[in-house]
A and B are shown apart, each in its own frame.
Chain A
């Protein structure tokens, strides 16, 4: 089995973000690392974050930094990754790519302890860069310019210190003196030797300054001093005339200013009032803002509170350090303060946000200062504060993030054409159920009812130079309605259009006149109001029309074509007639090319399943240039011109080309390239869009022509970052559409469906999925489908939080104390997230997080949710410190209760110092009220945490620690029937098929078991020989299991066919052999058939199809919030083709950040039988000559390769 791996949704979480001017000039940009993807983001003028570029780098990005050479206008990007190399990138605005400027190898690849890449620090003047590892190694590179002003990089200088753990490094701003880097270091050599523990307890962190002597080209330890043992992060303080220089050391509970030859200036970080005493406060992200006259720092704690830190200084003596409460936003992994007055907050879990500064915290607020620091016998006196609503920041945009995906199911609960993906995302109060649908989201601007069922709609401008449309013209079966667009849209009668007949086409003709084609003629309305009518000869009627700005072709019934042109005076003149052999199904004229008088091509589709290209040139007018036969009658045609591009932000480098699109009766969209000189058709592709013949319309998207295809659902074909994408829109079936532009809506679409006229815009171009969000209360763990009623049952749970009642009580108390009303916000409202959250609820948990409790306290709930109405029909909050961990539906064989719900819980679970619990339980619930609510039948105590539950032959299988046990339903409790205690660690998944049971162990991969009813025995007949730390598993077929492990691998194992047959034929079912066993394991071993390193922890796997009638593929969701698919190849030829393409891509286009592609995909185990589609899909981004070179090696043309890539993608989504 060979698989094709394709990422459907790139990771949405962010691990690190930096800001600067990467394209040069004044625009503020943000570069974010999403694990294996590097993105360039830019807030547009409306404050919406736009993704300008997104590159998969096939490696692990661990750190990012930006620097600028003195006097330069542009920032460079330094990437610390797992490649054992330092990589410096420059953003190339012209081509919209990251150019690799330098790549210097310094060590082994992989995220290792002593290989640098974990930390990056930059000299604030951009003269040097330090790259460090967790332990020992630090390398300094000198950055400079050569005579041609190109960036140069030196060979590395070592600043190693062995037996030393490094917590953080940063550059020290010392103006133009020798560059200095600071590091928090901890020496462990003595602690490792001293068995009394004295050395360990005395181990002290040090702040060390490393000086790079630019003259001697040497790095030396300049200064080292003890620092608070809770130190975890360093922040550069401006120096060299802008400030006092030195560093801020962020430690647990403190911020300390330190510099060489300067006494420490220390202040406590204010604590939340409700924080348990044993918890510290740690700074997790920091940002600095510097203006000419002042600078300040924003530091965020692990609870989400942001503090503004300012330094009072007198030249380079710091007199006071102040920490003032600023605002509270969800915890971030990075914050970026943009010069344009925005704060980009990259959340560690959940959606990222862009905030605008309303103030910079100059008002009075709770403040701690070094001047008022009080030391008492118990230590320093803490300062307390209460979080409040946002005062200094206002959120203006959000970027969706699925991180982390905890569980996922692909189901078609809404009976739509394609399945929906239900994902459980987020953590704690920011958890949600997100329903993903493949396709673009639209936002509806207006819906208005019309008097009748419209058949078509157009929009027209009055003059070619107008910015906005003037009229919307709607055609009915026997009338035409004209609406004028202004402040409001209203019906008008003075437009000159004939309203007593249906219309076939309405458009702007020439520069400023309008044309209405109706069955009996053409009405030409001149700008001054004169009307010219052309009538059809005899009783023939017009059936089809094709037109552009200067040319009109009509088709009369019977198959006659009449061609008109607009002459110099603006008159519409008949030029040519042509009799076709039969009736005409559809026709279209290509738009007039820039600077020409006419378009040369007319496409005519006929009922004999052919499309002909006719010439419109005066010398060979109506000559047939080429003929293309298609599989069924073409019903709609559209020429789509793609303008030449030399790259830039929206496109790769490509010449101008013309595509002919045809919507066929069978619902297939047929697309071919038209030779712009000869009119020959080539390179045809087809794609099934839906159950109705697609109608094609040209609309404008981002100022470019795009194609709207209306089949049983609407699709949009457009160019995004150099790729042509054809994506469904998440909207209902539409009849007819036209582009729409007005004052309120620059780029919209007006469409008719049923009796309504709809205006909408298309949002977030380039995205694969659009999502519907339903908020949840706690971190979701798992969910199941209640199959009969199509309800979802979700278990949620959080460690270290207070139960709902206690939270409510505490909140009330706090409001009473502060004299604020509670506004009647009940229990249920706290999970109703959304836009108005921060306004309605002064302390929304979604924003501020749940108050922290001791780590042995748990909260948990079981929720029944109706996804159709997105309402919770039942919510059971578990009591007494119990938390739910597993769930399944079960039908016991006595059928007394029908479908029951089993939930595995643990009470008082603790992970430290050792995993312990008070008790485990299995709850059995009965569904009441059509499944909408739950009633507890009974609960059964068990000795461990039941992490896996599964129905099996009318009984319940439970995995409790290392025990697999079979239960039957009793009156008061579950009854043990059979068990097997031979599993190595902890059972985390159980799946069954016939009499086989597939058990997943937390560390030891899969175990295949069998149950013998006659002997009432469970036994393991096969297992895996590789230790796999399972995070997800899925049963593929009788012998095959798919699994994902903690280290980011996905693998398939299969029981060899002969072993499988032997076991099935053996009357003892392999039991005799089992009793013998092999080396403490099972007698048979499964074989690994597929292995692939995804580079991200996959938490859920499912085999499903995302396209109607398509084959199934394995879909996975990951912690970083990405979705991917593995599709099995069906032909050997495809395998050959793609493996060769992958090989050439590896050679010709090595990954951006220097990791070897094969090495990355084989990071833990050698990759086996999986072809990396993400690498193959980078083929179109290669320069044309390289594309041709690879294509030659494969004996194909680049076009054929692109077609292959598109085909295989279309098989998946």
Chain B
């Protein structure tokens, strides 16, 4: 890589996208954006124990079960992805 390339905005963006999951790009669609937001939210719920406890009280489940449910939801947080237009 040449020195000038490193300061190229595109390569910087690519670097960010590779390093940080969820960094957006120009062609991001609504679904991908929503999936990212949802996964971030679930990760935050799992990380903040008081919030997890708050949900557990609301649903009358144990905190361990609530954490597991949130982890499971990270697989398909917004349902199935839409069909690709170009396919």
A105 within 8 A of B: no
**Chain B: interface size category:** 35 or more
Tally chain A residues at the interface, Cβ within 8 Å.
64
- Contact status B74-A188, CB under 8 Å: yes
- Contact status B81-A1097, CB under 8 Å: no
Interface residues of chain A: helix, strand, loop or mixed (majority): loop
**Which of A82, A167, A331, A1047 is B71 in contact with, Cβ under 8 Å?**
A167
Given contacts A114-B20, A135-B21, A191-B76, contact A1118 B62 (CB under 8 A): no
A42 within 8 A of B: no
A-B contact pairs, 15 of them (CB 8 A): A111-B47, A112-B47, A113-B40, A134-B42, A134-B47, A135-B74, A188-B74, A197-B80, A302-B65, A348-B56, A403-B53, A404-B53, A911-B58, A1097-B53, A1120-B53
Tell me the residues in window 143-157 of chain A with beta carbons closer than 8 Å to chain B beta carbons: none
Give chain B residues whose Cβ lies under 8 Å from the Cβ of A1167: none
- Contact status B62-A165, CB under 8 Å: no
Give chain A residues whose Cβ lies under 8 Å from the Cβ of B54: 404, 1031, 1046, 1097, 1119
- Contact status B76-A136, CB under 8 Å: no
**Which of A191, A427, A911, A1097 is B75 in contact with, Cβ under 8 Å?**
A191
Give chain A residues whose Cβ lies under 8 Å from the Cβ of B64: 232, 282-285, 302, 331, 333, 348
- Contact status B62-A302, CB under 8 Å: yes
**Which of B32, B50, B57, B80 is A1118 in contact with, Cβ under 8 Å?**
B50
Give chain A residues whose Cβ lies under 8 Å from the Cβ of B61: 302
A192 within 8 A of B: yes
- Contact status B65-A798, CB under 8 Å: no
- Contact status B71-A62, CB under 8 Å: no
- Contact status A192-B48, CB under 8 Å: no
Give chain B residues whose Cβ lies under 8 Å from the Cβ of A117: 47
10 closest Cβ pairs, A-B complex: A111-B47, A284-B64, A113-B43, A302-B62, A799-B60, A15-B49, A134-B43, A195-B83, A1097-B50, A1119-B50
Expressed in whole angstroms, the Cα–Cα distance for A1109 and B19 within the complex equals 58
**Which of B44, B53, B81 is A194 in contact with, Cβ under 8 Å?**
B81
Give chain A residues whose Cβ lies under 8 Å from the Cβ of B60: 427-428, 779, 798-801
Expressed in whole angstroms, the Cα–Cα distance for A1091 and B84 within the complex equals 45
A13 within 8 A of B: yes
Q: A457 → chain B, closest Cβ, in Å?
A: 48
Give 1 or 0 for each of A780-812: 1 = CB within 8 Å of chain B CB: 000000000000000000111100000000000
A1096 within 8 A of B: yes
Q: B44 → chain A, closest Cβ, in Å?
A: 6
Give chain A residues whose Cβ lies under 8 Å from the Cβ of B48: 60, 111, 1047-1048
Q: B41 → chain A, closest Cβ, in Å?
A: 9
Q: A318 → chain B, closest Cβ, in Å?
A: 26
- Contact status B81-A284, CB under 8 Å: no
- Contact status B68-A232, CB under 8 Å: yes
**Which of B43, B63, B76 is A135 in contact with, Cβ under 8 Å?**
B43
- Contact status B81-A195, CB under 8 Å: yes
Give chain B residues whose Cβ lies under 8 Å from the Cβ of A349: 53, 57
Give chain A residues whose Cβ lies under 8 Å from the Cβ of B76: 188, 191, 200
Give chain B residues whose Cβ lies under 8 Å from the Cβ of A1096: 50
Tell me the residues in window 1-44 of chain B with beta carbons closer than 8 Å to chain A beta carbons: 20-22, 32, 35, 39-40, 42-44
A510 within 8 A of B: no
Give chain B residues whose Cβ lies under 8 Å from the Cβ of A101: none
**Which of A13, A167, A195, A403 is B80 in contact with, Cβ under 8 Å?**
A195
Interface residues of chain B: helix, strand, loop or mixed (majority): helix
A605 within 8 A of B: no
Q: A231 → chain B, closest Cβ, in Å?
A: 10
- Contact status A165-B74, CB under 8 Å: yes
B20 to A, closest residue via Cβ: A114
- Not counting A113-B43, A114-B21, A348-B63, a sample of 6 additional A-B residue pairs whose C-beta atoms are within 8 angstroms of each other reads A165-B71, A284-B63, A284-B64, A799-B59, A1047-B48, A1048-B51
**Which of A118, A194, A800, A1118 is B46 in contact with, Cβ under 8 Å?**
A118
Given contacts A191-B75, A191-B76, A427-B57, contact A111 B62 (CB under 8 A): no
Give chain B residues whose Cβ lies under 8 Å from the Cβ of A453: none
Q: A1097 → chain B, closest Cβ, in Å?
A: 5
- Contact status B80-A136, CB under 8 Å: no
A303 to B, closest residue via Cβ: B62
Expressed in whole angstroms, the Cα–Cα distance for A333 and B53 within the complex equals 11
Give chain B residues whose Cβ lies under 8 Å from the Cβ of A643: none
**Which of B44, B53, B58, B75 is A348 in contact with, Cβ under 8 Å?**
B53
Q: A591 → chain B, closest Cβ, in Å?
A: 48
Tell me the residues in window 970-1023 of chain A with beta carbons closer than 8 Å to chain B beta carbons: none
- Contact status A348-B62, CB under 8 Å: yes
Expressed in whole angstroms, the Cα–Cα distance for A35 and B59 within the complex equals 21
A1147 within 8 A of B: no
Give chain B residues whose Cβ lies under 8 Å from the Cβ of A275: none
- Contact status A232-B47, CB under 8 Å: no
Tell me the residues in window 432-457 of chain A with beta carbons closer than 8 Å to chain B beta carbons: none
A203 within 8 A of B: yes
Expressed in whole angstroms, the Cα–Cα distance for A118 and B47 within the complex equals 6
- Contact status B53-A13, CB under 8 Å: yes
B65 to A, closest residue via Cβ: A302
A383 within 8 A of B: no
B75 to A, closest residue via Cβ: A188
Expressed in whole angstroms, the Cα–Cα distance for A186 and B74 within the complex equals 10
A162 within 8 A of B: yes
Given contacts A13-B53, A134-B43, A195-B82, contact A282 B68 (CB under 8 A): yes
- Contact status B71-A1097, CB under 8 Å: no
A581 within 8 A of B: no
A193 within 8 A of B: yes
- Contact status B40-A112, CB under 8 Å: yes
Expressed in whole angstroms, the Cα–Cα distance for A1097 and B71 within the complex equals 21
Give 1 or 0 for each of A219-257: 1 = CB within 8 Å of chain B CB: 000000000000010000000000000000000100000
- Contact status B21-A136, CB under 8 Å: yes
Expressed in whole angstroms, the Cα–Cα distance for A15 and B46 within the complex equals 12
- Contact status A113-B39, CB under 8 Å: yes
Interface centre among B57, B80, B84 (most CB of A within 10 A): B57
Give chain B residues whose Cβ lies under 8 Å from the Cβ of A801: 60
